[in-house]
Structure 1
Amino acid sequence: MRLVHVVTLVSEDGAYGGPTSVATGQLEECATRGHEVALLSLWRGRSRPPARIGSVPLRTRPARALLPGRFTGIMNPLLVRDMWRSMGRADVVHIHAGRDLVSLTALAVAAFRGKRFFTQTHGMVEPRHRLVARLFDRLYVPLLRRARGCLVLTERERRAVSQVVGPQGPPLLTLPNGVRPERNAVVEPRPHTPEVLFLARLHPRKRPDAFVEMAALVHRRRPDARFILHGANEGLLPTVRRLIAAHGLGGVVSYGGALSYSEALRAYAKAAVYVLPSVDEPFPMTVIEALSAGTPVVCTDTCGMADELARRGAAIVTDGSPQAMAEAVCEVLGDENKRQALVKEGRRAVEECFSIHAVADRLEEIYRNH
């Protein structure tokens, strides 16, 4: 099959997060199975965009801010022409759809072209009641309804999308995220000083401030530990720096900026623990990537995969308070048997539940039968 995926943004700093890595992971696996694949997107970065991401051909145009909003209003008119041409040859179009101009345009082009298209919302399409969102949805929702299917991660997302599209909407089809374990199993020497990692956007939902509060508590019991935050700043960097100074953690907690995908894999592999304090995170790719790298994970009970990970003993699931996360981190750092058990069960969970091979099997079945 000729497969064309559309995602809103590819960038040097990985600012768009999960949807971009999911799209490239799916296409890479489909390419290994003999499908002809392409990814269309906007590009943001100081350097020229790559021609490929791994084995996936990438067609991009520079992102331009046409309307307010970090992602909502970015677009480039030339991307419309690229979509029209690429979709014309496609057997299947797959749109990683948020509420933004790129997604709206991709939906419109696919519909006007009369193509078989699917949407995947990544937790980004939920009921909104602000006037701007309601006006946008007058165009957006009817196009969503024309999809052959909408791919959702969790039951929570299924309910949210169902409220948006209503009974006239397409079938809501469950598709998990996945990684390729053998590719992500980076061998990296663990530093002698244990390093606790935060790798996510510095956004209120990701709660980097809670990570710093947790670090202050762990530091009292494990003064040898060091803590590093990586990710694009989305407003909370000044708060993070104030908290570091207030707790006197200048030599203990640091901010290392955003990382490329390959740099992120190395960061997971070096870390003694990966902590994701996010709330209401539908299906965080960073957790799967950390597990695949053999890094113990501490997350919150509102993470979409928390129940499965807790049931398997593949991660330590907490209520998200700094105290509970600190207790979990100290347990991992102080108990080698616990650490080894988390590593073993985490990798097993990736192989059995979150493998890109199983995801692509499901995706091919969806493309052929819907």
Structure 2
Amino acid sequence: MKILRTVPLVSASGRYGGPSDSSIAQARLLSLDGNDVTLAAGFFIGDKPDYPRDQVTYRLFPVKSLFPAPGFTTVGSVGGVRALLHEVRAAEIIHVTYSREFLPLATVVLALMMRKPLVLQPHGMLTARTGRLHHIVDTVTRPLFRRASAVIALTSQEADALSRWVGTGMPECFHVGNPRIDEAPTNQTGSSQENEALFLARLEPRKRLVDFAEAAVLAEASGSLTSYRIVGPDQGDLQNIEGILNSAALLAYEGAVPASEVAGRLSSTGVFVLPSFQEPWGNVLVLALSMGIPVVVTRSAALATVIELYGAGKIVDDGAPSQIAAAVSALLDEPEAYKQASRAALSLSSDLFDDSAIREELGRAYAFAINTAKKHQRP
């Protein structure tokens, strides 16, 4: 099958975050089944990623912000649209990372014009952001969404949220978690590698970096020696913790790392902390669990329930820095508790994050989309 997998932006710095990494991982998984997979995406000049040669064809094109707007809403280029036109025409099925942005909307319009089977995957982006501008853009985003042949949601929670967002006309929805973004060595000893808590994500308001920074202050005040380290591209939130960075000895910002170095950075930490509000998945979170690294996540995260069920870390209330500091301490200061959480993380990963199951479910979604498109094409 000739599959076109599109994502608005890829980068060496990781500025588009999880949706970019997940799209690439999906493309590679699909290619293992003998599919002819092309991944089409834009990149900013000076931030083009260098992908290893594999069975995926990468169709990358330079883009820029066409006019000032929040985030990546207006990112695109004439050359990008031409590339998408060519790739959509050649593909048998189109799988789009769907968001309120120019490039995915343009891809959907092209696919619909050519009556191609169309699978849309929002990666939590449609339901996690609901400001006034989003409501305006949704006058276009929502009607196009309803015309998809099939939709992919990360979890049942996202599927329910999408159903509420779209109202009437919800396409058939398949639940498919993201593949692991990298292969990495697991923590076989069950012992902490470092007395360190790590925040590794984009520095944007929804990720709640401020809560992590304030947890470092509270830990330091209690006499803790645990290091709190921040890694990730700044998307506006770094300025909100500059005062804390200048005064807290335990807290440091290391800058961004490319996706290829995420696993390596994780392997040298003790606990992974993700204080996000309503995190729809968390690629680095899943990678940490697969490596046997205990985690601290907020109760609103989609994976919080299963993490708590397995005992793979600690669950804290949203917006509660004191609970983050206490959870980190409870894991790193108690070797037996850490060992149990580490083993539970490996068990959870083995049970729930299986790439073969993801490939099978993607295949089901594609088959449904193709059959649906054929029905609509009949006179």
Matched, 1:154 2:155: yes
TM-aligned CA distance change 1:170 to 1:48, over 3 Å: closer
How far 1:193 moved relative to its partner?
5.1
Higher mean C-alpha deviation, range 197-206 or range 223-232? 223-232
Report the count of equivalent residues: 365
Q: Residue in 1 aligned with 2:349?
A: 350
Q: Residue in 1 aligned with 2:39?
A: 39
Mapping of residues 150-229 of structure 1, within 5 Å: 150-179=151-180, 183-185=183-185, 194-221=195-222, 223-229=224-230
TM-aligned CA distance change 1:323 to 1:61, over 3 Å: same
Cα distance in 1 for residues equivalent to 2:64 and 2:234: 19
Cα distance in 2 for residues equivalent to 1:191 and 1:325: 17
How far 1:186 moved relative to its partner?
6.4
How far 1:362 moved relative to its partner?
0.8
Q: Residue in 1 aligned with 2:280?
A: 282
Q: In the TM superposition, what whole-angstrom CA distance separates every residue of 1:87-128 from its partner, at most 9, and x where no partner exists? A: 222121100101100110010111111110100011111384
Cα distance in 1 for residues equivalent to 2:55 and 2:186: 19
Give the secondary-structure state (helix, strand or coil) at the position aligned to 2:10: strand
Instruction: Judge conservation of contact 1:203–1:233 (CA < 8 Å) in 2.
Output: yes
Instruction: Judge conservation of contact 2:11–2:48 (CA < 8 Å) in 1.
Output: no
Give the secondary-structure state (helix, strand or coil) at the position aligned to 2:315: strand
Higher mean C-alpha deviation, range 349-358 or range 268-277? 349-358
Q: Residue in 1 aligned with 2:373?
A: none
| Amino acid of the structure 2 residue aligned with 1:109 | L
How far 1:368 moved relative to its partner?
1.6
How far 1:135 moved relative to its partner?
4.3
TM-aligned CA distance change 1:184 to 1:59, over 3 Å: same
Give the secondary-structure state (helix, strand or coil) at the position aligned to 1:270: coil
TM-aligned CA distance change 1:222 to 1:3, over 3 Å: farther
Q: Residue in 2 aligned with 1:230?
A: 231
How far 1:206 moved relative to its partner?
0.9
Give the secondary-structure state (helix, strand or coil) at the position aligned to 2:263: helix
Cα distance in 2 for residues equivalent to 1:202 and 1:351: 29
Q: In the TM superposition, what whole-angstrom CA distance separates every residue of 1:55-87 from its partner, at most 9, and x where no partner exists? A: 532211122111312211111111111112112
Unaligned runs of 5+ in 2: 370-379
| Amino acid of the structure 1 residue aligned with 2:356 | H
Cα distance in 1 for residues equivalent to 2:21 and 2:12: 12
How far 1:176 moved relative to its partner?
1.7
Q: In the TM superposition, what whole-angstrom CA distance separates every residue of 1:179-230 from its partner, at most 9, and x where no partner exists? A: 177x233689999752211011111111111111111222345543212101
Higher mean C-alpha deviation, range 146-155 or range 10-19? 146-155
| TM-score for both structures, normalised by structure 2 | 0.89
Give the secondary-structure state (helix, strand or coil) at the position aligned to 1:184: coil
Mapping of residues 1-370 of structure 1, within 5 Å: 1-46=1-46, 48-50=48-50, 55-67=55-67, 68-126=69-127, 128=130, 130=132, 132-179=133-180, 183-185=183-185, 194-221=195-222, 223-245=224-246, 248-250=247-249, 252-320=250-318, 321-370=320-369
TM-aligned CA distance change 1:193 to 1:151, over 3 Å: closer
Cα distance in 2 for residues equivalent to 1:326 and 1:194: 13
Instruction: Judge conservation of contact 2:271–2:294 (CA < 8 Å) in 1.
Output: yes
Q: In the TM superposition, what whole-angstrom CA distance separates every residue of 1:219-268 from its partner, at most 9, and x where no partner exists? A: 345543212101111222122121233xx324x21111111112111111
Give the secondary-structure state (helix, strand or coil) at the position aligned to 1:11: coil
How far 1:304 moved relative to its partner?
0.5
How large is the Cα RMSD of the aligned pairs?
2.3
| Amino acid of the structure 1 residue aligned with 2:17 | G
Higher mean C-alpha deviation, range 150-159 or range 299-308? 150-159
| Amino acid of the structure 2 residue aligned with 1:340 | K
Cα distance in 2 for residues equivalent to 1:27 and 1:239: 36
How far 1:53 moved relative to its partner?
7.2
How far 1:47 moved relative to its partner?
5.2
Percent identity among equivalent residues? 27
How far 1:32 moved relative to its partner?
1.6
Cα distance in 2 for residues equivalent to 1:293 and 1:27: 23
Instruction: Judge conservation of contact 1:151–1:174 (CA < 8 Å) in 2.
Output: yes
Give the secondary-structure state (helix, strand or coil) at the position aligned to 1:151: strand
Cα distance in 2 for residues equivalent to 1:90 and 1:304: 33
TM-aligned CA distance change 1:301 to 1:128, over 3 Å: closer
Give the secondary-structure state (helix, strand or coil) at the position aligned to 2:58: strand
Give the secondary-structure state (helix, strand or coil) at the position aligned to 1:254: strand
